[in-house]
């Protein structure tokens, strides 16, 4: 099945800096790549997603890039704020969103 690797496992940045989280996937047929944010003690929530026919997508301070040739995708957060501190999960799917395979997560800490 699909294998999703996520790096780094922990990331600490200062407020205002940028943060980048990278994921690789194994199955070239995967076509949907969402990112979820999980705050401490809360449920995961979708923050942005991208499909395989798009190379980049942006939503305010968050952007995701996809390189299908290299089979990797990345989450970029600019001008980080303390409320960005959370665990971020990338995922990949062969079926446009179903049977998602998640990475192991990145714990992001934004210090004031």
Partner 1 sequence: EAQVTQNPRYLITVTGKKLTVTCSQNMNHEYMSWYRQDPGLGLRQIYYSMNVEVTDKGDVPEGYKVSRKEKRNFPLILESPSPNQTSLYFCASSPLGTNTGELFFGEGSRLTVL
Q: List interacting residues with partner 1 (CB under 8 A).
A: 1, 6, 9, 32, 34, 36, 42-46, 49, 89, 91, 93, 96-105
CB of 70 to partner 1, least distance (A): 22
CB of 1 to partner 1, least distance (A): 7
Closest CB to partner 1 among residues 37, 84: 37
Closest CB to partner 1 among residues 5, 79: 5
Closest CB to partner 1 among residues 7, 78: 7
CB of 85 to partner 1, least distance (A): 18
Name 89's Cβ contacts closer than 8 Å, sequence gap at least 6.
6, 35, 36, 37, 38, 44, 102, 103, 105, 106
Phi-psi region of 71 (alpha: psi -120 to 50; beta: other; left: phi over 0): left
Closest CB to partner 1 among residues 80, 93: 93
CB of 52 to partner 1, least distance (A): 12
Name 110's Cβ contacts closer than 8 Å, sequence gap at least 6.
12, 13, 14, 15, 19, 80, 81, 82, 83, 84, 85
């Amino acid at each position: 099945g699909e294998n999703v690797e996520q790096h780094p496992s922990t990331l600490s940045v200062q407020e205002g800096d940028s943060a980048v989280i990278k994921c690789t996937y194994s199955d070239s047929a995967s076509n949907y790549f969402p990112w979820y944010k999980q705050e401490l003690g809360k449920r995961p929530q979708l923050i942005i997603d991208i499909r395989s026919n798009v190379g980049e997508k942006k939503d305010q301070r968050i952007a995701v890039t996809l390189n299908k040739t290299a089979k990797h995708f990345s989450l970029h957060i600019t001008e980080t704020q303390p409320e960005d501190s959370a665990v971020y999960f990338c995922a990949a799917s062969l079926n446009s969103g179903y049977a998602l395979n998640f990475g192991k997560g990145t714990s992001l800490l934004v210090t004031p």
